[in-house]
Amino acid sequence: MLSILFLSFLILLILGMPIGYVMAVSATLSIASNSNLPGIVMAQKMFTATDSFSLMAIPFFMLAGHLMTEANITQRILDFSKTLVGHITGGLAQTTVMSGMLMAGISGSGAADASAIGGIMVPSLTKDGYDEGFAVSLIASCAALGPIIPPSIIMIMYSSVTNISVGKLFLAGVFPGIVAGIGFMGISYFYARKNGFVPSKRASLKVIGNGFVKAIGALIMPIIIMGGILSGIFTATESGAIACVYGLIYGLVTKSLTIEKIKRALLNATLSTVPAMFVIAVASIFGFIMARENFSSLVLNSILQISDNAYIVLFIVIGFLVALGMFVDTTAAIIMVVPVLVPLIGRFGYDPLHFAIIIVITLVLGALTPPVGMLVYIVAGVKNTPTERAFAHILPFVIWILAIVTFMVFFPKVVLFIPNLMS
């Protein structure tokens, strides 16, 4: 079964079929080849995978993000970010990074951030003299912060697969997310210095205060979400529902939401949620087949033949995850490989929370890396920028994220410090 599963998966992926259909077809062929498995297994697994209270957080957070976008909150965050870092060399690029970090605390989705920030900042950056390829790679990298800085839809998915506390996952993502953002600002600084960009005048405290007042409505949302989850007042799913209510009230109070905009937010949230839930459903069948065929033992034995050193094993896993993330949607990848890899890594004594953050960041890194680079494709679509131009500038961002992952491997306490502090 495994040979049919992986062979058909690889062929269909090379042919360019969407990942959801790739997994559905390959799983169907694999089950059809085994007379001991009735076809109804597929329906049962798909239903069981999506019949989850925790997964209801996905449509809620999708809707909350779209409501905030329709309420023009993205522009307010950009304006506030500009007052904070616009005076640094490469001010507009610095503003982009700061906005990406703040938006990550609202949407929880890299794709949503890529669309929201890209639509505004790609034209602005290119108009200001930035190379279009650099603008796309910068925004795509900032969008990658969405699944790392809490709240994170990917972390909610991970929690549903492993039962690790969502609150602890969120807290563990704070340090690497902020460090990644600081690194992106450094890359922007050196790019601007190299290309002769002149810093603008520092904003006054009054201007910063005005920007803060305009953006405070959005900045409060992640505080409500994280505060509620960590205090035990509500679950991650309930926090998503509260985020939707808050976004709706915010838009109505500021008169930035109309009936048409609310309808559009609902439609866009639906269009964003359905593909994700379909991938979750079919990935569960894929994972079921791998578990049934004892794929984790095969992987463990294969890796142990290479080395039994804990660090070498972890770096082999990281390399595999980066390669997987290049071609496979992050949500699908988590459902497919996490049940296989967690027991493997547990054998070498790694903390499950430490390993979880490494998996999340590594898979997100794959969404930036050629040849596919899903986040790059989303941002490049804003101005139909050839992806080759963006990939020409993506390397410094990829190297920085890899450096963070490597640092996390050898110093797990930097990841676990905040969760342990709050527990």
Helix axes 2-14, 259-292, angle to 10 degrees: 140
How many contiguous H segments (helices) and E segments (strands) does the chain have? 21, 0
Are the beta carbons of 139 and 94 closer than 8 angstroms? Answer: no
55's tokens: 């997964």
Are the beta carbons of 105 and 150 closer than 8 angstroms? Answer: yes
Question: pTM above 0.75?
Answer: yes
Question: Is 76 in the same domain as 9?
Answer: no
Q: List, in order, residues 6 or more apart from 92 with CB less than 8 Å away.
A: 82, 86, 121, 124, 125, 128, 130
Are the beta carbons of 169 and 147 closer than 8 angstroms? Answer: no
The pLDDT value given to residue 137: 93
**Selection from 332, 351, 335 nearest residue 288 by Cα:** 335
Q: Is the omega angle on the peptide bond into residue 18 within 30 degrees of 0, that is, cis?
A: no
The pLDDT value given to residue 49: 78
The pLDDT value given to residue 31: 86
Question: Is 314 in the same domain as 175?
Answer: yes
Question: Is 262 in the same domain as 341?
Answer: yes
Question: Is 107 in the same domain as 216?
Answer: yes
What backbone torsions phi and psi does residue 382 show, to the nearest 5 degrees? -60, -45
Question: Is 188 in the same domain as 270?
Answer: yes
Question: Is 20 in the same domain as 147?
Answer: no
Question: Is 214 in the same domain as 93?
Answer: yes
Question: Is 14 in the same domain as 47?
Answer: no
The pLDDT value given to residue 423: 62
Question: Is 80 in the same domain as 96?
Answer: yes
Q: Domain containing 117: what range?
A: 38-422
Question: Is 58 in the same domain as 28?
Answer: no
Question: Is 169 in the same domain as 134?
Answer: yes
**Selection from 117, 107, 62, 64 nearest residue 272 by Cα:** 62
**How many domains would you assign to the chain?**
2
Question: Is 398 in the same domain as 263?
Answer: yes
Q: Which residues of the chain have pLDDT under 50?
A: none
What backbone torsions phi and psi does residue 256 show, to the nearest 5 degrees? -100, -5
Are the beta carbons of 236 and 159 closer than 8 angstroms? Answer: yes
